[in-house]
Amino acid sequence: EEQAGQDRFNQIIAEDSRIEPRDWMPEAYRKTLTRQMSQHAHSEIIGMQPEANWITRAPSLKRKAILMAKVQDEAGHGLYLYSGTETLGTPRDELNDQLMTGKAKYSSIFNYPARSWADMGAIGWLVDGAAIANQVPLCRASYGPYGRAMVRICKEESFHQRQGFEILLELSNGTPAQKKMAQDAVNRFYAPSLMMFGPPDSDSPNSGQSTAWKIKRFSNDELRQRFVGMIVEQIKILGLTLPDPDLRFDAETGTWLHMDLDWVEFKAVIAGNGPCNAQRLQRRRDAHNEGAWVREAAAAYAAKMARKTE
């Protein structure tokens, strides 16, 4: 039976069709998807923090409403992805525990501070922009629930990116001090947003198998270069510059080449030693504890309703 399952799995992957939760799948496929999808969910949840930090200081009622909606979207993405991950067999409590105890990874980018209002622009434009570049191909991931989740998430991320771009555009066309603030935000978020795509292909242990299983469709470096090609045009409209002295178009390969990134810094950040890791996890644990009464009330209510229908 195991052999029949494996044959069927291989066939579905070869046909570029989809694996669904009840299908047989190799344990390693289940494991790597649980890893990637839960890391992704954690990133959405932790990613609420840098922006939530600016909700009370947004410069107008309109900006505040937009930012609140965006942060709520991120919460929705997280919950959606936790549900998707649960279809692989790991309960949400366990996933949540892995995050709060620091065992699980989440995206490096959310360990950098959001220092100014312009950072809301840079995060929307660069961070959500990188997220889209990485996630659009994931809409075709071989695991059904993940691919379908990505379709909706990418639509919302596109709106997020536009609102970030628009914040930067307005600041860039504002006073010299505002323009400087926008440039400073781009300067700080450029390299960390390129690192979101993961380590270079030569140092990406999961890529080979994930590509063979059609979870990944493009390599980390390919997507990173594609993203640079997108923003290199958009920065001109913003009237700002990318802080990259080595940026150039390579006619031979048809790709944009960027500066070397600091992979020592990247490794330190994902090992838990970035500028805000401790603060982000502490905030998550506090929020979880502060929400205990809501979970207890919801469980008590569910139990009461179950008794009523007996």
196 binds ligand ACO per the rule CB under 6 A: yes
Identify whether the C-beta of residue 38 lies closer than 8 Å to the C-beta of residue 85.
yes
Count of Cβ atoms closer than 10 Å to residue 175 Cβ: 9
What is the DSSP track for 161-202? HHHHHHHHHHHHTS-HHHHHHHHHHHHHHHHHHHHTT-S-GG
Is residue 134 a contact residue for ligand ACO (CB under 6 A)?
yes
Rule CB under 6 A: say whether 108 interacts with ligand ACO. yes
- Regarding 105 and contact with ligand ACO (CB under 6 A), the answer is yes
Query: Are the C-beta atoms of residues 192 and 108 closer than 8 Å to each other?
Result: yes
Closer to ligand ACO at the Cβ: 271 or 303?
A: 271
Q: How far apart are CA 118 and CA 297, in angstroms?
A: 40
If the CB atoms of residues 12 and 223 are measured against ligand ACO, the closer one turns out to be 223
Stretch that binds ligand ACO, among 53-61, 62-70, 93-101, 103-111 (CB under 6 A): 103-111
**Contact between residue 197 and residue 227 where contact means Cβ atoms under 8 Å apart:** yes
**Residue placing its CB nearer to ligand ACO in the complex, 228 or 270:** 270
Phi-psi group of 272: left, alpha or beta (phi > 0 → left; psi -120 to 50 → alpha; rest → beta)? left
Considering the rule CB under 6 A, would residue 129 count as an interface residue with ligand ACO? Answer: no
Shortest spacing between CB 217 and ligand ACO, in angstroms: 10
Q: Does 34 bind ligand ACO (CB under 6 A)?
A: no
CA 66 vs CA 112, 171, 181: distances in Å: 22, 17, 20
Question: How many Cβ atoms are within 10 Å of 132's Cβ, its own excluded?
Answer: 19
Interacting residue with ligand ACO among 49, 107, 163, 225 (CB under 6 A): 107
**Judged by CB under 6 A, which stretch of 86-94, 127-135, 248-256, 280-288 contacts ligand ACO?**
127-135
Instruction: Say whether residue 71 binds ligand ACO (CB under 6 A).
Output: no
Rg (CA), the chain: 21
Q: Residue 248 — φ and ψ, nearest 5°?
A: -160, 155
Choosing from 205, 253, 294, 310, the residue that interacts with ligand ACO (CB under 6 A) is: 205
Interface residues for ligand ACO in 258-277 (CB under 6 A)?
270
Q: Does 85 bind ligand ACO (CB under 6 A)?
A: no
Determine, following the binding rule CB under 6 A, whether residue 207 of this chain makes contact with ligand ACO: yes
Indicate whether 40 belongs to the interface with ligand ACO (CB under 6 A).
Answer: yes
Enumerate binding residues for ligand ACO (CB under 6 A).
35-36, 39-40, 43-44, 47, 105, 107-108, 128, 131, 134, 195-199, 204-207, 210, 220, 270
